[in-house]
Amino acid sequence: MIPNLSVKIGKVKFSNPVLVASGTFGYGEEYGAFFDLNKLGGIITKSITLNPREGHLPPRTCETPSGMLNAIGLANVGVKRFIREKLPFLRNLKTKVIVNVAGSSIDEYVEVVRRLEGKKGIDLLEINISCPNVKQGGITFGSDPKCAYDCIKAVRDNTTYPIIAKLSPNVADIVEIALAVEEAGADAVSLINTLVGMAIDLEKRKPRLSNITGGLSGPAIKPVALAMVWKTAQKVKVPVIGLGGIMNTQDALEFILAGASMIQVGTGNFVDPECSIKIVEGLKEYCQEKRLKRIGDLVGKLKV
C-alpha cells in the first residue's frame, strides 16, 4: 500500500506535506545539485521585497547551543529580478512554488504581490509578517492583530494566489494573530519564524552579530514551536504549517500530531542538504509501518 501524503491548501494540492523554509533554500537552484527538487512538497523562496536589498553588514550568522542566530536583513534580488532571473528555474519544477513576500509598508506588500500576479510558475504566496531583523516592516505587521489583519487583507484583495501568513513567535499571543489573519482571508498560517536572540563575544565585549540581535532557529526552538503550533491549531480553521527546529521524521511527526497539516525544514537543510527529502521518505515509511492510509489522518491526533 502506498500511503497518501498529499495535502491541500486553498485549491493547491501538494504531493506531500514537506516544504523547505524561506531563507534557507535560496531560490532552489543550489539544492537542486543535491537531490531531485520535485520530490519535495514545495519550495518556499527567500523573502522577496519590491527593491533589491543588500542585507545587513557581516557577521550575519552565529552558532548557538543546538541552534543558530541569523540577521541576514532580507537580502534578496527584488521582485523584478526574481521574476526575470529566478522564476524560470522554479517554473520548470513539478514541485509547488511558494513565493515569500516581505515589505516595509502595506503598499510595498501590495505592490510586490501585484507584480507577482499571474506569473507562471507561482502556486502560492507566503506573506512574511514576522521578520525579526529589519527595523521597519516585517515583524511590526506581525506583532499586532490589527496590523496583521490590515496587511493580510490588503494582500488578499490584490492577489488571486492562495496565501499563507507567516507568524512570529515574538508576540504576547500568537493565537490572536493567527485568528486575525484567518479573518483577513489567509488560506493557511505558518509558524514559527525565528525567536529574537543574541550572542556575545566575551573576549571582544561585542555582540557576535553586526545587527546585535538576530533570529534564533534550529532544534533549540522546537519545543517553543510545538507549543505554539498546538495552541494555534486548536483555534484556527485554516491549515497550520509547522516549523521550528525540524531535523528529522520524528520531529515532523510531532508537529503533525500537534496539529500541523504541513511542515517546513529550515536550519535542517544546512546540517544535511537532504534533510527534507529524507523526511518525505520517513513519513511514507511511518505510514506504512503504522498502516495509515493518509498522513492527513494523523494531523492534530495528539492524545491529551
Partner 1 sequence: MNQRKEEGLLLSVENLGERLFRLKIHSPSVSKKALPGNFCHLRVNESYSPLLRRAFSIHQVEKEKNNFELLFKVVGPGTQILSEKKPGEKIDLLGPLGNSFSLPAKDENAVLLAGGMGIAPLFYLINSLLTKKFNPEKITLFFGVKGKDECLLINEIVSTGIRLHLATEDGSSGYKGMITELFFQELQSRRIKAKRTKFFACGPNPMLKKVSEISRKFKLDCQICLENHMPCGIGACMGCVVKTSEGYKRVCKDGPVFDAREVILD
Is the CB of 72 or the CB of 87 nearer to partner 1? 72
Let me know if 131 is a catalytic residue: yes
- Residue position matching grid coordinates 501524503: 5
- Which DSSP helix (H) or strand (E) runs through 269? helix 267-271
Categorise residue 291: left if φ over 0, alpha if ψ from -120 to 50, beta otherwise. left
62 binds partner 1 (CB under 8 A): yes
248 binds partner 1 (CB under 8 A): no
- Which DSSP helix (H) or strand (E) runs through 216? strand 213-217
Under rule CB under 8 A, which residues in 219-238 are in contact with partner 1? 219
Site string for partner 1, 127-166 (x = CB under 8 A): ----------------------------------------
287 binds partner 1 (CB under 8 A): no
Closest CA relative to residue 101, chosen from 145, 137, 54, 64: 137
CB atoms within 10 A of CB 173: 11
Label the pairing between strands 12-14 and 7-9. antiparallel
Interface residue with partner 1 among 68, 188, 262, 295 (CB under 8 A) is 68
Distance of closest approach, residue 26 Cβ to partner 1, in angstroms: 4
35 binds partner 1 (CB under 8 A): yes
Closest CA relative to residue 10, chosen from 186, 184, 136: 186
Interface residue with partner 1 among 22, 70, 128, 170 (CB under 8 A) is 70
Interface residue with partner 1 among 12, 75, 106, 302 (CB under 8 A) is 75
Site string for partner 1, 183-222 (x = CB under 8 A): -----------------------------------xx---
271 binds partner 1 (CB under 8 A): yes
Q: Which stretch binds partner 1 (CB under 8 A): 59-67, 132-140, 192-200, 288-296?
A: 59-67
Q: What is the DSSP letter of 100?
A: E
**Of 131, 151, 275, 287, catalytic:** 131
As to burial, measured by CB atoms within 10 angstroms (0-12 exposed, 13-18 middle, 19+ buried), residue 59 is middle
Q: Which stretch binds partner 1 (CB under 8 A): 58-66, 133-141, 150-158, 188-196?
A: 58-66
As to burial, measured by CB atoms within 10 angstroms (0-12 exposed, 13-18 middle, 19+ buried), residue 205 is exposed
Alpha helix (H) ranges present in 84-165? 87-91, 106-116, 139-142, 145-156
Q: Which stretch binds partner 1 (CB under 8 A): 19-27, 128-136, 152-160, 186-194?
A: 19-27
Residue 299, SS3 per DSSP = coil
Supply the residues annotated as catalytic: 131
Residues that bind partner 1 in the complex, under the rule CB under 8 A: 23-26, 30-36, 46, 54-55, 57-63, 65-68, 70, 72, 75, 218-219, 247, 267, 269-274
